[in-house]
Structure 1
Amino acid sequence: MTHATHTPRPTAETWALIRDDYRSGITAPVLAERYGVPERTLRRRAALEGWRRADAPTPSLATPPAWLRPPVSREEALARDPDLAEVDAAEGGDRIGLLFDPDPRHLRLFAFRQASEAAAMDRPVQAVSWMRLAQIVDRCGDRIEADGRPLREVDHLRAAYLRRLGELLPEDMPADDA
């Protein structure tokens, strides 16, 4: 069995040398080998600290990358593109359907669509969460379907009775103060 060799962490002075060499135009793989630092660590530090190589173009600050931009709220998205109202209404219908008549197949498809949307919007944590839900429903779907619906027949009858009772009561009748 081989053991990984432990390399000491670079000091602040070493990082300053790496930064200066990087800015002068030396590539990350060359610097990683020269200073014994993992290339990924070097690239991550360069990105976090905003190092720019001499031969790299200056990034435009007018449009930051998607992962740095704050998320757009539903209201802002609808204000920017009114055509999204139809999509929003359809999504609301999906959610209501899941609330009142949950079905494992529809929940799995809904979770997958949400995961796809989150991935497309550069929200990887949400995408992974939605995909986990889709996988769990996929594994448990048959069992959930076999266990039955959350609303029993008596619940539907009770709701219909209360609806009819509300229609029969006169509107000007005072509420019972019990």
Structure 2
Amino acid sequence: MTQPAPHPRPTAETWALARADFLSGLSAAVVAERHGISERQIRRRAAKEGWRRSDFEPMGMAPTPAWMKPPPTAAEERANDDALEEVDEAEAAARFGLLFEPKPRSLRRYAFRRASESAAMDRPQVAVSWMRLVQLIDRCGERIDEEAHPYREADYVRAAYLRRLNEQYGEDGDPDLNPDTAPTG
């Protein structure tokens, strides 16, 4: 049996010409035949050195199926639906009220609403923690109302001090300390 004659080792000049032909858009088979290099050698060199033909357009990956996409963020949801901005504003107002005017009844409503939302969003552990807060408010909510003071202890001390100052110096006629004798506009 006769074996095909081995291809002579291509020179650097031959590789440069082969590369130029390949990059111009010729197929590897045509470049191999033209320059006397095996098609396999052309493909290996092209892969190794990153040759890309001029007509090559990389195929992108297939789009991600909807079931694999992550859920949209809150900002994306707000951008898609203007009504959500109104909901966010109402939620911020509710939190503001809870922070600066805490009332057991409003806190209970807020906690129950959050528990319901968490349960609906399939987050049972979060829902349970909010329901514990609801139960705690039910047990001690009235006592909180009875014991609650609208001001801090320091504010009461400050008010008592100002009252003493007013009693002590207000009778001497100092108009700055006695609001009854202060000049009106």
TM-score (ref. length: structure 2)? 0.44
TM-score (ref. length: structure 1)? 0.45
